[in-house]
Amino acid sequence: MGNYTAVDVERLLALKPDLVVVWDDGTPKSLIERLQRFGLPLFHSHPRKLDDIPAEIETLGGVLGTQKIATTAARILRAQLAALRRTFNHPPHPKVFYQIWNSPLITVGRDQFISQAIRLCGGRNLFADLSHPAPTVNIETVVRRNPDVILLGGNREKQRLWLKAWQQWPQVTAVRRHWIYPMPADLLQRPGPRLIAGTAILCHALEKTRAQMQPHLRPSSKQ
C-alpha cells in the first residue's frame, strides 16, 4: 500500500478493507481526510506514553473482535514495562544523548517515546529541557552538556560512521570512556509494541554504564 505518509488509495479501495489504522502523529491530515471522504472505516492510533501502547492494543482488539488475544498481549507488555522499571530505574542516573540523525544533528525532546524509555531505564535525557519531539541541536551544545552515554539510532552503516565521527570529541565523557552504544532503531523509533523490547535493550546499555560509573557503590566481594 505504501507507507504511513503515502498510500496508494486506489489500490487500497480495490481491496475493500474492513479497517484502516492511521497514525495521527505521522499520517498527513490530507491523507486521513481523503480516506474519510471515501467512507473507509478508520482506527486512529495516537499513543502518547509507553503505557498507552498496551492500552491501545486492547482497544484495537475490541474493534477487531479479538479481545481475548489483545488482552493477553497487553498484559504481557504491561508486565514487561513494570519489570523494567523495577530493575533499572535506580541511581546513578547517567546523562544520555540519543542521536537520531547526524546532519543535521537530531535528538529527542522531553516527552518523546525514546526520552520516556531513557527515563524509565534510570537515565537523564540530555535535552529533556526541549519540548519538540525531535529537535535539531548543534554539536557544541552536546559537547558542553557532556553526556555520559551516547546512543546511536540509524542503521548499522550509519552507526559505524557516527561512531567514527564522535572520536573527534575525546573531551566528552561518553567518547572518552567508550560509552557509545548502537541501538535498534527499528524497535525504538516506532511507537508500537516493539518499542518495549527496544527499551529493554536501552536499559541494559545504561546498566552496563552504571556498573562502570561508580564501581565503589557495588557490594564488595570481600564482605
| pLDDT tens-place string over residues 183-212 | 999 999 888 899 999 999 999 999 999 999
Is the domain 9-87 a CATH 2.60.40.10 member?
A: no
According to the model, what pLDDT value does residue 190 have? 85
Q: Are strands 149-152 and 105-106 parallel, antiparallel or unpaired?
A: unpaired
pLDDT at 14 > cutoff 90: yes
Which letter, b or e, does each residue of 179-203 get, where b requires 16 or more Cβ atoms within 10 Å of its Cβ? Answer: bbbbbebebbbebebebbebbbbbb
* Average pLDDT value over all residues in the chain: 93
According to the model, what pLDDT value does residue 25 have? 81
Nearest to 50 by CA among 202, 172, 177, 161: 202
Task: Delimit the CATH 3.40.50.1980 region(s) of the chain.
Answer: 9-87, 92-214
Which residue do the cell numbers 527499528 mark? Answer: 186
Q: Are strands 105-106 and 101-102 parallel, antiparallel or unpaired?
A: antiparallel
Alpha-carbon distance of 207 to 194, in angstroms, equals: 20
CATH of domain 92-214: 3.40.50.1980
According to the model, what pLDDT value does residue 215 have? 57
- How confident is residue 94, by pLDDT bands cut at 50, 70 and 90? very high
pLDDT per position as a tens digit, 164-188: 999 999 999 999 999 999 999 999 9
Percent of the chain clearing pLDDT 70 (strictly above): 96
pTM for this model (two decimals):
0.88
